[in-house]
Amino acid sequence: MHSNGLTSTGMNNGDGMPSLGMDSPSLQRQMPSGDMNAAILCKTQNVLVEMRIPKNQGLLGASQILAGMNIASFQLDRSYEPVSVTPDSEQAASLLASNEETVIVRGVVAESKIQELEAQPNVIKVYKDTRIAPFNPVLLEKTEMDLIAPTDSSAGCPIATCDCSAIIPKGTIADVATYFGVDKIWAAGYKGQGIVVGVVDGGITAEGRPFVVGETIRRIPNVIGGPAYDWGTVARAWGEHGNMCATDVLGMAPEAKLYDCRISGGDSISNALRVFDWAIKQYQTDGTPHILTNSWGIYQKSWDEFYATNIDHPFTRKVVEVINLGILVLFAAGNCGGTCPSDRCGGDTGPGKSIWGANGHPMVMTVGAVNKDEQFVGYSSQGPAALDPNKPDFCSITHFKGYFGCDNGTSAATPIAAGVVALLKQAKPSVTQDEVKNALKSTAKNIGEPGFDQHSGAGIIQAKLAFDMLVPPTQLPHWSDWENLGGNNFSAPAAASWGENRLDIFTLGGDSNLYRKFADNKTWSDWENLGGFSLTAPAAVASQTNRLDVFIVGQQRNLLRKFWDGTTWSEWENLGGFCKQGVAVCTSAANRLDVFAIAADNALYQKSWNGTAWGDWTNLGGFCLSAPAAVCSSENRVDVFVRGTDHAIYRKSWDGTTWSSSWESLGGLWLYSPAATSWSANRLDVFAVGTDNSMYRKYWDGSTWSSWENLGGSTISSPSAVSRGTNRIDTFVVGGDNAIYRKSYG
């Protein structure tokens, strides 16, 4: 038979080989299962073909070369875009000289024709498209269970007693955070903000994504994308294993973002190769993902001996590319430890026979497992790994209540460690793979013999100790002393910032005019008179770069506005109203301003600018003794704070749709109006002046309020606060000498 100009060749047993051409009507058009056993009946093999092609030719170049090879039984998977890989050392020089590159294509070939395919001039090597699987003893509705004998004794345990009870949790994910000291890292302001973790796994069902019939209704927050067009919609293929891993990352780094890097669907190494290649391209575009967590691999050497034992396998080379680019990579050690191995391990269990392929590469972080009670988990794979004798690197915690009743396997331990790494990456953005690995290893708690051992590696990671090693306490954000900025001020100050190194402050002089002073790269300007006549302290906001809007209360108690457009100041604009106290302003979206004031009835009122026109005043209720404070922590999120009749601070919030139905009391007994600022979503910092004239702070970390913290000082005005970025706050008050004083956090 003929197809695409290629002649079919008979098999060794004399049977005629059916056409494998793309146009054959009887041929399955989709990529066959990655399960190698599924191809036995027709004696074909799912393969990856490493080829040399002219640079930048991609699929077209590979297709043209393959078409001329006359290997009738080879079927190219045209849905799989060729993946470029770094050539091995033997190929590098000749490829450079001929202006060629090395790419991987995917296809199916008759087993008897693999050697013939490999002998073609442009083919470097043919590899099995290896079967892969998640490392988790117990999965929801999993089709192929890993059976673990439930034991908890010293029999056969290499370190004291072992935990083999994979369905019995030893605490909750919150207990894991406490054990690691992660709660103390959170208190320092690090919860994973700005860090993106790629969960390379069986898929995630994400908040805000379409529902797929047959999938769980459970949804994971903070998922922002992925390589597949339908990212965030499926998780069932691996029994919601991806949802578990995502939950475990967020358990340690609740403000990190996630990519759904799905590799299920065929369950083959080619899927992982494609995802890692996507991660490289994404990183080159916007610097994310920062971390890739991998809780999967091969259980037996026989699944693919070349991948298991050879450092030059194309996927392993791709992992090295990713790390060299700057992405931090963790792999689970596996579930084939000698005490109670998974039944899928066959005879490949225990030291030297349980960590295969990229999972044990010298450059990756290879993660073993213990429980919160510091018991070694008896199925945690043991070194030496096939590619590195010094594996695993360390252990993380498994067997806790998380996404499932008991998140388990080295599968759970690895994303827990990845969440810890996210905190370290946020604290030290320049940190490298080696720095993170060494910090976690050098601060780990040893549970075996002193030093490294092949069972637990360096021991159990200690997140807070590693954090303190990478970011010494002296380098952590802290409050400065009070700085005197001078002036003779007759109102509380207002502050705004439109850049990392830019601060603008506004106040009233003895003539009741508005004055401005700004700092650019730490150099303060002189005071500038902006005119006007105000009865109350001003309010100011920077809605975009080089744009400022300032508000005051005029002589008729009407609201007045003046703005800076980057070149000149506008005239004063009369917005009407009757403002009994001062005003507050924030910007919750592009071209939107929300202004708040207290009217004659002591209720809080809101007036909004939508980019083209001002709306009417809206009554938000309450009974307020002072001017409000307002902050927009994210798009369409507004929090307003006032001082109530009991002199406590109260909060009311807008979630993008409605205002909260009641006022929340933050307690205290305060002299003046509060101030508020935010450096990220789910972060609020509120400031007030106590009866001792000291300034106090209370912050919201996304889940709880802190207690009030005394920041000292002796102030005779309301404070003002502004944030210029994560862990950066500038506060301003008027001292007893009428000068403005500044205190900064950063």
Asked if residue 432 and residue 296 are part of one domain, the reply reads: yes
The answer as to whether 135 is a domain residue is no
DSSP element (H, E) containing 244: helix 241-252
DSSP code for 237: G
- Does residue 383 surpass a pLDDT of 70? yes
Spatial distance between the Cα atoms of 733 and 550, rounded to a whole number of angstroms: 18
In the set 241, 290, 361, 455, the catalytic residue is: 241
Asked if residue 85 and residue 61 are part of one domain, the reply reads: yes
pLDDT of residue 70: 72
With cut-offs at 50, 70 and 90, classify the pLDDT of residue 655. very high
Asked if residue 626 and residue 495 are part of one domain, the reply reads: yes
What would the pLDDT profile of 585-629 be if each residue is shown by its tens digit?
A: 999 888 899 999 999 999 999 999 999 999 999 999 999 999 999
pLDDT of residue 16: 33
Among 450, 474, 498, the domain boundary falls at: 474
- Does residue 151 surpass a pLDDT of 70? no
Asked if residue 534 and residue 461 are part of one domain, the reply reads: no
In the set 77, 129, 146, 201, the catalytic residue is: 201
Task: Give CA separation, 656 vs 76, 491, 586, 590, 639, in Å.
Answer: 50, 33, 14, 14, 11
Using a pLDDT cut of 70, give the percent of the chain over it. 92
Using a pLDDT cut of 90, give the percent of the chain over it. 78
What would the pLDDT profile of 619-642 be if each residue is shown by its tens digit?
A: 999 999 999 999 999 999 999 999
Q: The domain containing residue 654 runs over which residues?
A: 477-745
pLDDT of residue 64: 80
What would the pLDDT profile of 164-205 be if each residue is shown by its tens digit?
A: 999 999 999 999 999 999 999 998 889 998 899 999 999 999
The answer as to whether 420 is a domain residue is yes
pLDDT of residue 20: 28
pLDDT of residue 21: 32
What are the φ/ψ torsions at residue 551 (nearest 5 degrees)?
Answer: -130, 140
pLDDT of residue 701: 80
Asked if residue 457 and residue 317 are part of one domain, the reply reads: yes
Mean pLDDT calculated for residue range 31-40:
42
The answer as to whether 139 is a domain residue is no
pLDDT of residue 24: 31
The answer as to whether 323 is a domain residue is yes
Residue with structure tokens 């083999």? 164
Return the half-sphere exposure (C-beta side, CA atoms, 13 A cut-off) of residue 447. 28
With cut-offs at 50, 70 and 90, classify the pLDDT of residue 137. low
Asked if residue 359 and residue 210 are part of one domain, the reply reads: yes
pLDDT of residue 54: 87
Mean pLDDT calculated for residue range 377-397:
98
What would the pLDDT profile of 204-229 be if each residue is shown by its tens digit?
A: 999 999 999 999 999 999 999 999 99
β-pair type (593-598, 75-76): unpaired
Asked if residue 524 and residue 431 are part of one domain, the reply reads: no
Mean pLDDT calculated for residue range 430-453:
95
Asked if residue 406 and residue 555 are part of one domain, the reply reads: no
What would the pLDDT profile of 448-495 be if each residue is shown by its tens digit?
A: 888 999 999 999 999 999 999 999 887 788 899 999 999 999 999 999
- Does residue 546 surpass a pLDDT of 70? yes
- Does residue 11 surpass a pLDDT of 80? no
Tokens representing residue 142 in the block: 């999993």
Q: What 3-state class would DSSP assign to 408?
A: coil
The answer as to whether 318 is a domain residue is yes
Q: Residue 442 maps to which CATH number?
A: 3.40.50.200
- Does residue 90 surpass a pLDDT of 60? yes
Q: Residue 591 maps to which CATH number?
A: 2.120.10.70
pLDDT of residue 42: 56
- Does residue 146 surpass a pLDDT of 80? no
Distant-in-sequence, close-in-space partners of 488: CB < 8 Å, separation ≥ 6:
509, 510, 738, 739
β-pair type (547-553, 559-564): antiparallel
Peptide bond into 392 cis (omega under 30): yes
- Does residue 521 surpass a pLDDT of 60? yes
Asked if residue 691 and residue 667 are part of one domain, the reply reads: yes
Residue with structure tokens 């092949």? 454
Among 453, 474, 495, the domain boundary falls at: 474
Mean pLDDT calculated for residue range 378-388:
98
Asked if residues 650 and 656 have their Cβ atoms less than 8 Å apart, the reply is no
Q: What is the pTM of this model?
A: 0.74
Type of residue numbered 734: V
411 labelled catalytic? yes
201 labelled catalytic? yes
Spatial distance between the Cα atoms of 740 and 487, rounded to a whole number of angstroms: 7
DSSP code for 459: -
361 labelled catalytic? no
- Does residue 408 surpass a pLDDT of 50? yes
DSSP element (H, E) containing 323: helix 314-325
Beta bridge partners of 687: 675, 697
- Does residue 284 surpass a pLDDT of 50? yes
Asked if residue 235 and residue 269 are part of one domain, the reply reads: yes
Asked if residue 434 and residue 531 are part of one domain, the reply reads: no
Higher pLDDT, 142 or 18: 142
Q: What 3-state class would DSSP assign to 580?
A: coil
With cut-offs at 50, 70 and 90, classify the pLDDT of residue 48. very high
Residue with structure tokens 């990220």? 680
Instruction: Burial-class residue 160 by CB neighbours within 10 Å (0-12, 13-18, 19+).
Output: exposed
Query: Total structural domains in the chain?
Result: 3
Asked if residue 420 and residue 399 are part of one domain, the reply reads: yes
Mean pLDDT calculated for residue range 674-689:
94
Start-to-end CA distance of the chain, whole Å, equals: 73
- Does residue 37 surpass a pLDDT of 60? no
In the set 268, 270, 411, 491, the catalytic residue is: 411
Among 98, 128, 158, the domain boundary falls at: 128
Mean pLDDT value across the chain: 90
